[in-house]
Structure 1
Amino acid sequence: MVDSVRIRDYRSSDADDVNRIAVAAFGQFRDQYQDWPAMLAGLSRTSSLSATGEVIVAAYHDRLAGAVAYFGPAVEKAAFFNPAWPIIRMLTVDPVDRGRGLGHALTAECIARAKRDRSPIIALHTSPIMTIALPMYLKMGFTKAYDAPPIHGVPYAVYTKAL
């Protein structure tokens, strides 16, 4: 990892940046979601995941450039996930900072936290439209487990990785 990338826990002062990055990261998909205004509203509240999950941020040259949420094995999650699995949610990297290894570093931190929690597996859900994230997850050892409910008309699937 480049020396200029730093992974750390979210602070409440990061909220605006986390929300801005989520909106920017998903902006390229606006025409693929049938209800972009509803999707946008949710993305604009990404920092609220910190109420129940561990939000982790990536700083690049001392500015926030990415974020992800980790939900441990005992935390409530969507019904299509096995409740015992820790999960990765809302991995986002600012489009101007893609290609710097931030997504990989944030995902690796979630995997490390799942190992900390002594989980034998970690899960996430993503879509084929995520042409940067999905190949990265596959290279990191995630495999498709089953289809998940679509989000605003976009297909999603659950992927798992044995730890």
Structure 2
Amino acid sequence: MTEIRLRDYQNADAEDLNRLAVSAFEQFRDHYGDWPAMLAGLSKTSALSVGGEVIIAELQGKLAGAVAYFRPDSRKAAFFDQRWPIIRMLVVDPAFRVKGVGRALSDECIARASRDGSPIIALHTSPIMSVALPMYLRMGFAKAYDAPPIFGAAYAVYTKAL
């Protein structure tokens, strides 16, 4: 099995990251009431690097996935406790799914939350994420409360004690 290489985002990754985010969410297009608006947001995924730490996963020398980690007390959506570190926008290239990329990126966010001394980490996801949600549950995340829907798709906040 080829090793997954994790590294910090660089500005040169922006175009590839934005394209990857669109590709990763394409399968969910029919679940969002306003796919063009969702697509516009996904096309700017690299902007998460302004407030968060974007982590890139490479497999076979290619960008295979990415995630944004926001530290405790960093600015985040109002429905999160602002003291919590959070995982945002975990995306995996469809060509690299089921190879442990999502798990490796999630584990790295958990390691960074521990580095930052946090007793908890949070994320928000949707039941439409039929691979990601079960993975998070296996990792020990539990539903904390419902979050506002995104373009009609239900979302909830999940937390994990560290």
Question: 2:23 is matched with which residue?
Answer: 24
CA distance in 2: counterparts of 1:116 and 1:35, whole angstroms: 38
CA distance in 2: counterparts of 1:27 and 1:3, whole angstroms: 26
CA distance in 2: counterparts of 1:17 and 1:136, whole angstroms: 25
Question: 2:99 is matched with which residue?
Answer: 100
CA distance in 2: counterparts of 1:3 and 1:60, whole angstroms: 7
Gaps of 5+ in 1: none
Question: 1:90 is matched with which residue?
Answer: 89
Secondary structure of the corresponding residue to residue 31 of structure 2: coil
Matched, 1:6 2:1: no
Q: Which amino acid in structure 2 is aligned with residue 115 of structure 1?
A: S
CA distance in 2: counterparts of 1:29 and 1:56, whole angstroms: 23
Question: 1:141 is matched with which residue?
Answer: 140
Q: Which amino acid in structure 2 is aligned with residue 38 of structure 1?
A: A
Shift of 1:7: 0.7
Q: Which amino acid in structure 2 is aligned with residue 121 of structure 1?
A: I
Secondary structure of the corresponding residue to residue 40 of structure 2: helix
Q: Which amino acid in structure 1 is aligned with residue 42 of structure 2?
A: L
Q: How does 1:1-163 map to 2 (within 5 A)?
A: 2-163=1-162
CA distance in 1: counterparts of 2:61 and 2:12, whole angstroms: 14
TM-score computed with the length of structure 2 as normaliser: 0.99
Q: Which amino acid in structure 2 is aligned with residue 19 of structure 1?
A: N
Runs (4+) off by over 6 Å: none
TM-score computed with the length of structure 1 as normaliser: 0.98
Q: Which amino acid in structure 1 is aligned with residue 69 of structure 2?
A: Y
Instruction: State the identity %.
Output: 69
Secondary structure of the corresponding residue to residue 30 of structure 1: helix
RMSD value over aligned CA atoms? 0.7
Shift of 1:69: 0.1
